[in-house]
Amino acid sequence: MVRKAKRPERRRRMRDVKSEPAPPAGVPPVVGPPSHRRAPVPDEEIVNRLNELLEAERAGVEAAAALKRAAAGGMTEADVKKFGDDEAWACAGLHRAIIGYGGVPSDRTGDFGRKVAALQSEGERLSLMARGQAWVAKRLDGLLAMPLDQETRTFLAEMREQHLENIEACNRRADELEAPPSPPYRPLPLARLREAHDRLYFGRWRAPGATERDLQRTYAQLGRYLGAMADEVQRSRALEARRSLTKARRAYAKADPGLHGEAAIRSLDNALSFAHSALNALLQQSRMPTHDPAGFESFYDVVGLPFREVM
């Protein structure tokens, strides 16, 4: 009885198909839209980039282990555990993505973990961890600009968010521990204020595609920077620096963390610009050259591996 019930429907569908007119001679048939299912065909560039990240993330697992072994109060046990868990999760996801694109996962591990472990102080280790995380985030930005399947895109976007959170955590704790400034800044006066300014200046919140969370992180980071700047202005008694800092605080007050889009970016940018003027006023009072972020751009343009000796 089931078969008899289905036969009329099948014949009706077959008649519908036969009733469609054939395309005129010489005219190519219309091809329907491609399926959203992507066959796992190799894509050499994407696979290479994913493997590059996989090697770096394995090194990140080793770096997290080094932080745990050297636990000296720089980060809480929960922070270190999250760091290691994030790196391990990223490794697993990258492995799946590489296979999904028809590639072969690399079995190599970068030497970043060994470099972190070799540093003497907790603050230095955290600063270098932040640099390594920033390198990964930059590479993720490049990958997310490429045509990817939705599953891989969603995974990489979440991975990016985790790394940006870890950058913020590492930099914050390194500042609290008064870690030495990074090598390009160390011989300079007001080195910590210069470096903190440039972290903001070259931050992702100013790049195309910045997210609301990027702006929220910048808002918190800029607030801490203005606090550190206020301490230095108070010690120096520099009137011009004080005036610029007041303008920076007014602009910052307009940058509500709930804002998004151009209004938020403009307020944050104005606050940072006035903070830069305050920094230069401090330097000028000591008869020092002003600070030009452009001279440090290569330090933040981390398109190569983050394991150079300069780090």
Q: What is the pLDDT of residues 139-183, one digit of tens each?
A: 999 899 899 999 999 999 999 999 998 988 888 888 887 788 888
Phi, psi dihedral angles at 216 (to 5 degrees): -65, -40
> Do residues 310 and 261 both lie within one domain?
yes
Number of H helices, E strands in the chain: 11, 0
Phi, psi dihedral angles at 104 (to 5 degrees): -115, 120
pTM: 0.69
What was the pLDDT predicted at 193?
96
Residue pair 46/143 in contact (Cβ under 8 Å)? The answer is yes
Domain with 100 in it: 41-177
Helix H, strand E, coil C: the string for 169-201 is: HHHHHHHHCCCCCCCCCCCCCCHHHHHHHHHHH
3-class SS at 167? helix
The pLDDT of residue 108 is above 90 = yes
Domain count, the chain: 2
What was the pLDDT predicted at 9?
43
Of 154, 177, 200, the residue that ends a domain is 177
pLDDT tier, 35 (very low <50, low <70, confident <90, very high otherwise): very low
Q: Domain for residue 26, yes or no? A: no
Q: Domain for residue 263, yes or no? A: yes
Task: Report the chain's mean pLDDT, rounded to a whole number.
Answer: 81
Helices (H), 102-149: 112-118, 122-144
Measured between alpha carbons, how far is 291 from 193 in angstroms, rounded to an integer? 10
> Do residues 166 and 190 both lie within one domain?
no
Angle, helix 44-69 to helix 77-100, in steps of 10 degrees:
160
Residue pair 296/188 in contact (Cβ under 8 Å)? The answer is no
Of 147, 177, 207, the residue that ends a domain is 177
Of 143, 177, 211, the residue that ends a domain is 177
> Do residues 311 and 199 both lie within one domain?
yes
> Do residues 94 and 153 both lie within one domain?
yes
The pLDDT of residue 16 is above 50 = no
Q: Domain for residue 32, yes or no? A: no
